[in-house]
Amino acid sequence: MLNLNKRASRLKLSVYLNLILKIISITISLLLVPVLLVALGKEKYGIWVTVFTFIGWLNVFDLGLGEGLKLKLTAAFSLKKTQKINKLITSTYFFTFVVTSFLLLVFILINLFVDWSLLLGVNKYANEINNSIFILVVFVLLIFIAKIIGTIYSSLQLPFVENIIKTFGQLFFLIGLLFLNFIDVKLNLIWITVFSLLPTFLMYLGFNISFFKFKASFLIPKIQNICKDTLKEVVKPGFSFFIIQLGCIILYSSDNVIILKLFSANEVTYYSIYYKYYSFPFMFYGLFISSHWNAFIDALAKEDFLWIKKKILLFKKLLLLVILSYVFIYFLEKKLLWLWVGKENIKIDSTMSINMILYFLISSYTTIYMYVINAYGKLYIQLLGYVLITIINIPLSIFLAKYYNLGASGVILASSVCLLILGIVIPIQYKKIMSHKISGIWNK
């Protein structure tokens, strides 16, 4: 009963704080769009959104270590295995440092020979694009190491800590932009990239120092705690998460690049605004469910299946509210979009709206079961699904957008079709887990 109350209290705290932080984050996100549109203009904003997409691609190269560590570290904290915790933390920091150093060296060599603006098909702002991508990659690789602290806090069933870091990173980005505008500095893609990533990196660094110096000095990484076998425990599920992340990136982050190549930077801007607008209900829903991930790991470690079933039933009921919210924002679309970004910065497209809603509803349904599967650590089915998605998403997007004349809305429709694959297989695997009848390929 004590463990159950502890799990419930931490979950309640995480849900409430994550909700507050998400409201703040969404408010900042809403403010950033018009500020950036004014600072950069529609064309440069579209280019920046595309360049920023590379963050998603770069995040794949942590090889799923964050998720692998979370899976093992949460269980170790739940069972109070202090020695195991030390080895997990030290080994992950060490391996991440090695991987990051290697990736940085490789990127520096590649950067000497690649013109990124040419690769994106935009020669007009070549210097800004090339320097922005260099700065972006360096910062993201540094954040690879620093963000492990977010995983440690998540493993302690305090996932809101990472959301604090990300939210305040956004806030300082916005403040930095407003300050530069106030002192009349002419903003370009380079300034935007620096101010979008530097605050987040410094926040992660500060939380690392605070945790290991003041909160848990006994967990500070030490060379003698590097353990090859422990690292394998993290890397094995981490590799599955890596393939899944790769599929997610192709599904979620390739859209802007495809639209830029097929159409124009302005079309990327319209698409990005629509995506952000229709993502809000899903963001709150996904946030609520994702707050349960570490609690699911704890519940599975203690075989508390009844608690998990009750939570899944709650998620299903909340899905009805998500559907109603999409009906509401669809009918208010024109007024809200014009109020948000200005009539001159958006074109109303009902086909795009319907396809966006379809995409986020499929995402919402799949998310109901996804975190239980991830907590259980049986990822092979999910991995196969994302491999298939990786193969078909880009050609299907191009076919629907260009050859089926659906334009940018065809790109999000292709993502919906791909996501439907997971929407079918993930609930089946969940039911097998809950009925204790999981075997064969479903149990890998």
- Token code pair at residue 146: 């620093």
CA pair distance 127, 133, nearest whole angstrom: 10
CA pair distance 30, 28, nearest whole angstrom: 5
What are the CA-CA distances from residue 84 to residues 78, 212, 222, 284, 373 (Å)? 12, 17, 13, 34, 24
Residues 6+ apart with CB under 8 A from 80: none
Could you give the count of Cα atoms lying within 13 Å of 174 in the half-sphere of its Cβ? 18
* pLDDT tens track for 361-408: 999 999 999 888 888 877 788 888 888 888 888 888 888 888 877 888
Domain ranges of the chain: 2-443
Q: What is the pTM of this model?
A: 0.68
Percentage with pLDDT > 70 across the chain: 91
Closest CA to 32 of 341, 238, 267, 303: 341
* pLDDT tens track for 204-241: 999 999 988 888 888 888 888 888 887 777 777 666 66
Residue pair 429/442 in contact (Cβ under 8 Å)? The answer is: yes
CA pair distance 107, 109, nearest whole angstrom: 5
CA pair distance 321, 323, nearest whole angstrom: 5
The conformation of residue 443, written as its DSSP 8-state character, comes to: G
CA pair distance 84, 94, nearest whole angstrom: 15
Could you give the count of Cα atoms lying within 13 Å of 146 in the half-sphere of its Cβ? 22
Burial of 412 (0-12, 13-18, 19+ CB in 10 A): buried
pLDDT of residue 128: 80
Please state the length of the chain.
444
The conformation of residue 263, written as its DSSP 8-state character, comes to: S
pLDDT tops 50 at residue 2: no
* pLDDT tens track for 132-168: 888 888 888 888 888 889 888 888 877 778 888 888 8
CA pair distance 101, 107, nearest whole angstrom: 10
Residue 23's region, left for phi above 0, alpha for psi from -120 to 50, else beta, is alpha
* pLDDT tens track for 190-211: 888 888 888 889 999 999 999 8
Residue pair 271/353 in contact (Cβ under 8 Å)? The answer is: no
Residues 6+ apart with CB under 8 A from 339: none
* pLDDT tens track for 245-286: 777 766 666 777 788 778 877 788 888 888 889 988 998 898
CA pair distance 340, 333, nearest whole angstrom: 10
Helix (H, G, I), strand (E, B) or coil at 123: coil
CB count within 10 Å of CB 291 equals 25
